[in-house]
Amino acid sequence: MTTALVLLLLAAGAYLVAVLEAWTASGRFRLAAPVVAGIALLGRESIVPRKPDRIFFEVAPVLLLLSALLAAAVVPLTPDLIITDLATGALFINAALVYVLVALLMAGWGPNGAYAMIGGWRFLGQLIAYAMLIVMPITAVVMRAESLLTTQIVASQASLWNIIYQPLGFVLFFVAAMALAFLPPFDLPTAKGELAGGVEAEYGGVRLAVFRLGRLALIITLAAATVVFYLGGWQGPWLPPWAWSAIKILAVTATMLLAGHAMPRIREADLLGWCWKLGIPLALLNIFIVGILVLALP
Amino acid sequence: MITGARHGKLSGLRRLTALAMARDLRAFLVPGPDIARAHGLDIEAAGMQIVASPRHASVLLVVGAIPPPLREAAAVIYAQMMRPRALFVLGSDELDQLPEADVRENLSQQYLIKGVRRLRTAFAEGAFRSDVADFDAPMLHARIEYTCPMHPEVVRDEPGSCPKCGMNLVAREAQAPAGHTHTDQQEMIVDADMHATSDQDHAGHHGMDHDTSAKYTCPMHPEVEQNEPGSCPKCGMNLELRESQGTKSHEDAGINPDGDHSGMDHRLMDHGDTAFMSMIDVTKDLPRSSDGLPMDWIDVPFGPFFPGLPGGLLLTLTLDGDTVAGSSVQTLGGNEELLQHSAMDSGSFIERLARVESLAPVSYRLLACRATENAAGVEVPAVTACARVGALERERIASHLGWLALFGQQTGFDWLQRCAASLQLKVQNAGIKQVLALKPDMEFLIKRLQRTPLLKSRTAGIGRLAPNAALHGPVARAAGISNDARSTDPSYSALRFTPVSREGCDAQARLQVRVEEITHSLALIAAAGVIEPPTPINIGEASGAGEAVVETPRGVARLRLTLEKGRVIAAQLETPSTHHLALIDPLIQQLALGDALVAIGSLDLAPWEVRQ
């Protein structure tokens, strides 16, 4: 029952993300656009390119969707609305999202097209940049909560949200989450003007629909994770918990989507350079500061 | 009804999807969004979305007349699109390689909107049909040839055994046209290389017979060349096989000429006979990159309809990972004959030049006008000259805005793309009052550009070009050379013109020069006080030779022409893009793909004005 409800909410969330994404990309707000685009995609042919790696080509979109859903399974929307409150929840999110990389590499290799393949390799480089900045801020969050349970992490922020307790960690995690969801300006694997769509370029019809759905689910899951880790989850005055979760998640999603359209795509070398030379030292500093705070404050 | 309908009966759910498709039209533009904007078309306002990949498109929108090589490339794009697909042609009637257009309209926004409405009806009523024919064209077929694994010089059209060693010949795909075979309606297999009218494809079509793609030559006397094997008439050595030009470049680049034109055929996966795949074995023959890391080099075509490059430009990059190891660039849009007949009357010559150079029609119209006036010895009144300055500067603003839009598209800077494109459309044909009224909008754009994060790191130090004589226009002015044909123009001196110049020599400096020129040109327009596109002056039956220069938005263009009794009998055009095209290869060596594209983009090439 909970599972079905969470999945339903996730689908609704993905739909709203699609509306928001179309809005930020084209400047027009149309509530029906994603449903029309989705139906049109389902009615189109889905060609398999020549000499494909058929298994990779077919599995990639499904794997992307699955990996986002797996991560969503441990994200609590209210104290009870969680598919499974794993004892290793915070770690599990990270583990599940590793398959995003696998899915994109497969989507890059599968169709035997140069643009897709370069897109896939680019995302491998991107993983090297963002991966540590997902794990290390989560470590600091977990240190404060003294638990890997995601519900416990939310509870630990009852007095003060982590965004204020550890702002540095929030910034790093937020940026890394955008890179993980390959949102602009980190859309290196799907760059339109550089790779004509990259990993998406050879997909069409149903397969493309699944791929895009997976991407939407990924964005909403990451936004939900950000809310759980840093914005106090379902907590808030007056409104019921589910409403707070919904408002916060949508606000985070909108910020993620809007940020990228006002700047050009990052250079891959810069992304790697900044993440390693700046991001990781900052993440370590964050862990250090949080460690002192945890010891010093009661 | 559309010719590219998907197989099936239009009923039930399909009717619903057909309606959705009619609402959700996605267009792939040929030759490109830059040309569409130059023609004043706003595709998105007309209700279609522009997509970057033909796989995601349902409409192939052809804007204006395109030359035969581009038609062929457009046919490949059409074949890559997924059904139901439609062909929408604006302002062109000869498109021999493509199927019959589903909707054909004149080239203007009003007709575009009308065409979109017709397309919607066509999709709603005919997205599915039970009697659909496959689109088929010669360039979509792969030719299979047979070769001996031991003697690569043995190439036959039929299977059989090798005349030298008796081994069975193995089939491979011929180098010539890009492959494309059909199996059935549901799963048509189309070449994976996007937008590819691959380089071999074109090498194969330039005056070469498909069957004689191999030449035999003497290792000592390269001038000896014949179609049959044999011995050298000069030294008696056995002649060696040299493959056609397309393949040759593969060998130079060290790529295994395995017949797959993308060079990446999952080759490493196919070593079925070795249980252990040793990386040393696999990479031992691969070329070494500058960093010493052996990687599979691949040849990737970018263009002629690549979303991040000007339409009509075909760039083939040899990529080592994502670093450019080599490149070849050509234009499929340019090299159009200036004179249609041996003699054209001056009026239609001027019109023709303006039409051929569709990215800067005012500049080239002005150039042709000035050249004919110069040849006929006609003086232009200062008032007219001043009004022409207004029109030229307006075009400079529009062109630089168009460049900004393309730059935004290339670098994924959506806001810039949208904002610059809409300003370009507004400025392009506006009267003086409207142009000056748009000044705050342009200043806002410029101010925001200066504050944009990541923009500097994206452009600084990329595409460095030391000052030299081959640089023109904003590219030269960004390298500190203030050579500008406007400096010597009396009508500009009257407006107290001084050229903008910068010292950076890189993509960032070029961006800054263009941005500054926008405000600069606005000031010139305000000073000129009038905008009037150049109109040909009646030159009567004049004869003589003349020459003119115009500082187009991309640099100095020079036209020499000869008049005989009021008719143009000879014309010679020199354009900035011709010079800039030759700069590309050294410019992008060892750059990462993204940087290489920014570097090429910063040159602001117009493939249509290239003459070689």
- The 10s digit of each residue's pLDDT in B126-140 is 878 777 777 777 777
What is the model's pLDDT at position A33?
84
DSSP, res B179: P
Under the banding of pLDDT at 50, 70 and 90, the label for residue B142 is low
Inter-chain contact A49–B265, Cβ cutoff 8 Å?
no
Average confidence (pLDDT) over B418-434: 90
Q: Is B42 on the interface with A (CB under 8 A)?
A: no
Å between A70 CA and nearest CA of chain B: 28
- The verdict on a CB contact (< 8 Å) between B414 and A265 is no
- Residue B288: its pLDDT value, please? 64
Distance CA B515, CA B417 (A): 14
Nearest to B169 by CA among B188, B190, B148: B148
Taking Cα atoms as reference points, which of B364, B403, B413 lies closest to residue B533? Answer: B364
pLDDT band at A258 (very low <50, low <70, confident <90, very high): confident
Whether the per-residue pLDDT at B548 is higher than 80: the answer is yes
Residue B412 contacts A where some CB pair is shorter than 8 Å: yes
- Chain-centroid distance of CA B430 in Å reads 28
Residues of B in contact with A263 (CB under 8 A): 413, 452-455
pLDDT digits (tens, 9 = 90+) for B565-577: 888 888 888 888 8
Q: Does B260 touch chain A (CB under 8 A)?
A: yes
Interface contact B190, partner A, CB < 8 A: yes
Of B150 and A67, which is predicted with more confidence?
Answer: A67
Percent of chain A with pLDDT over 90: 41
Chain B interface, best mutation among A41, A175, A188, A195, by max B CB count within 10 A: A195
Which residue in this structure is represented by tokens 């994976």?
B192
Q: What is the mean pLDDT of residues A210-224?
A: 92
Residue A172 confidence class, pLDDT cut points 50, 70, 90: very high
Q: Does A227 score more than 90 pLDDT?
A: yes
How many contacts (CB atoms, under 8 Å) link A and B? 196
Taking 60 as the threshold, does the pLDDT of residue B268 lie above it?
Answer: no
pLDDT in tens, B170-212: 777 765 433 333 333 333 334 434 443 333 333 333 333 333 3
Q: What one-letter code names the amino acid at B122? A: A
Interface residue B20 vs chain A (CB under 8 A) = yes
Spatial neighbors of B387 by CB under 8 A, at least 6 apart, are: B528, B530, B531, B532
Instruction: List all residues of chain A from 252 to 281 with a beta carbon under 8 Å from chain B.
Output: 260-270
How distant is the Cα of A281 from the closest Cα of chain B, in angstroms? 21
Cα gap A174→A177, rounded to integer Å: 5
- Helix axes B361-376 and B382-410, enclosed angle (nearest 10): 150
Judged against a pLDDT cut of 50, whether residue B246 lies above it is answered with no
**Model pLDDT, residue B253:** 33
- Contacts of residue B276, defined as CB under 8 A and 6 or more positions apart, other chains included, come to none
Length of chain A: 298
In sequence order, what are the residues at sequence separation of 6 or more whose Cβ sits closer than 8 angstroms to the Cβ of residue A208?
A: A41, A46, A61, A200, B55, B56
Q: State mean pLDDT over B524-531.
A: 86
**pLDDT confidence of B67, banded at 50, 70, 90?**
confident
Mean pLDDT across A176-191: 91
Say if residue A238's pLDDT is above 50. yes
| Predicted local confidence at residue B68, as pLDDT | 85
For residue B280, name the pLDDT band (cuts at 50, 70, 90): low
State the pLDDT at residue B214: 54
Residue B217 confidence (pLDDT) above 90? no
Percent of chain B exceeding pLDDT 70 equals: 79
| CB-CB under 8 Å, A193 with B298 | no
Query: Lowest mean pLDDT: which of A8-12, A171-175, B206-210?
Result: B206-210
Residue A222 has what pLDDT?
A: 94
B21/A43 touch (CB, cutoff 8 Å), yes or no = yes
Res. A275 pLDDT band, cuts 50 70 90: very high
- B217 or B406, higher pLDDT: B406
Is residue B54 a contact partner of residue B80, using CB atoms and an 8 Å limit?
A: yes
Mapping DSSP to helix (H, G, I), strand (E, B) and coil, where does residue B72 land? helix
What single letter denotes the amino acid at residue B366? L
3-state secondary structure of B68: helix
CB-based contact A201 B52, cutoff 8 Å: yes
Q: Nearest to residue B406, comparing CAs of B601, B181, B158, B127?
A: B601
- The mean of the pLDDT values for chain A is 89
Residue B292's pLDDT band (cuts 50, 70, 90): low
Put simply, the answer to whether B594 touches A270 (Cβ < 8 Å) is no
Overall average pLDDT of the A195-211 stretch? 88
Percent of chain B at pLDDT > 90 equals 14
B181 contacts on A by Cβ (under 8 Å): 50
Residue B24, chain A, CB below 8 Å: the answer is yes
Lowest mean pLDDT among A106-115, B96-105, B403-412: B96-105
Residue A141 has pLDDT above 90, yes or no: yes
pLDDT at residue number B187: 32
**Segment A66-77, tens digit of pLDDT:** 999 999 889 888
Does the beta carbon of A121 lie under 8 angstroms from any beta carbon of chain B? yes
**Helical residues (DSSP H) of B451-588, grouped into ranges:** 455-459, 473-477, 490-493, 507-528, 576-581, 584-588
Q: Determine the pLDDT at residue B219.
A: 63
Segment (H or E) for B444:
helix B439-450
For B218-236, give one letter per residue: b (16+ CB within 10 A) or e.
Answer: beeeeebeeeeeeebeeee
Q: Which residues in chain A have their CB less than 8 angstroms from residue B56's CB?
A: 197, 200, 204, 208
Q: What was the pLDDT predicted at B261? A: 37
Mean pLDDT of chain B: 78
Query: Which of B140-144, B156-160, B572-576, B594-598 comes out lowest in average pLDDT?
Result: B140-144
Q: What is the pLDDT of residues B296-351, one digit of tens each?
A: 788 888 878 998 888 888 889 888 878 888 888 888 877 777 776 777 888 888 88
CB contact under 8 A, A265 and B17: no
Residue of B nearest to A53 (CA): B266
Identify the pLDDT of residue B546: 86
pLDDT at position A271? 92
Q: Residue B190 and residue B85: Cα distance in Å, rounded?
A: 15
Within an 8 Å CB–CB cutoff, is residue B21 touching chain A? yes
Taking the C-alpha atoms of residue A278 and residue A271, their distance in angstroms, rounded to an integer, is 10
In this prediction, residue B266 has a pLDDT band, given cuts at 50, 70 and 90, of very low
Q: Would you state the pLDDT for residue A173? A: 94
Of all residues in chain A, what percent carry a pLDDT higher than 70?
Answer: 100
Nearest residue to A244 (alpha-carbon basis) of A76, A28, A39, A6: A76
Residues of B in contact with A197 (CB under 8 A): 51-53, 55-56
* Closest Cβ–Cβ partner in B20, B180, B191 for A43: B20
Closest-CA distance of chain B to residue A103, Å: 18
> B287 falls in which pLDDT band (50, 70, 90)?
low
Q: What is the pLDDT of residue B276?
A: 61
Return the half-sphere exposure (C-beta side, CA atoms, 13 A cut-off) of residue A278: 11
A250 contacts: CB under 8 Å, gap ≥ 6 = A13, A16, A20, A223
